Structure 1
Amino acid sequence: MESNDAVKRLSALAQDSRLAVFRLLVQAGQEGVAAGEIARALEITPNTLSAQLNVLSNAGLVVSRRDGRSIIYAAAYDRMAELLLYLMQDCCQGRPEVCAPLADAATQAACCGLPNNVNA
């Protein structure tokens, strides 16, 4: 992953509403959530939500698909995994005890179908 891609993804998450949207989508899983449901769950107006989803989409953190009249949004788990791997690359300089909590979190996230090997 290039540094500017990491900055773009982190910047997209560096706002309360966008972070809340992304976390909701991560929790929802690969099935995703309709835009209207996201707006209701987070009490965000539709036009504001649209802008937030656009920023997340441009950063590559969410994907969308049409289902009838609804647009379903889901977290882009592969892109999220790339970012996490980039942030943890060369972690701890040979001191695994420092990164043990992060490794535990990554193991827990693996249950959600994150790719096992994403090129960093």
Structure 2
Amino acid sequence: MTEMQYTKDHEWIRAEGDIATVGITDFAQNSLGDVVYVDLPEVDQEFTAGESLGEIESTKSVGELFAPAAGTVVEVNDAVADDPTLVNSDPTGAGWLVKVRFSEQPEVLSADEYAELTK
């Protein structure tokens, strides 16, 4: 498994081969508060960098999941759709949101760079 990387939109990316798992960071889920609803894209949906892939609704607000780069959705986490609290309880594990095949390299931050961003 490769090292987790981050985006400026508070998402994490973990690439395994040509497939990348994407979710929101612990910082993002903390900022959102209790997640009550997650709307995820369809499998095989193509997207461009910066495009909205879905919404995450909490008791405080509604946030969007943004595509870090162009690609195609290959899998969605149905468990999160059924139990949105997984985003809060395990954002970098069971609370992952989508698996994608990027057609371009996403612009990412290292863990240290992301920590600096969220200070």
State which structure, 1 or 2, has the greater radius of gyration over its C-alpha atoms.
1
More helix by share: 1
More strand by share: 2
Which band: TM-score by shorter chain? Answer: under 0.3
Give TM-score, length-normalised by structure 2. Answer: 0.25
Give TM-score, length-normalised by structure 1. Answer: 0.25
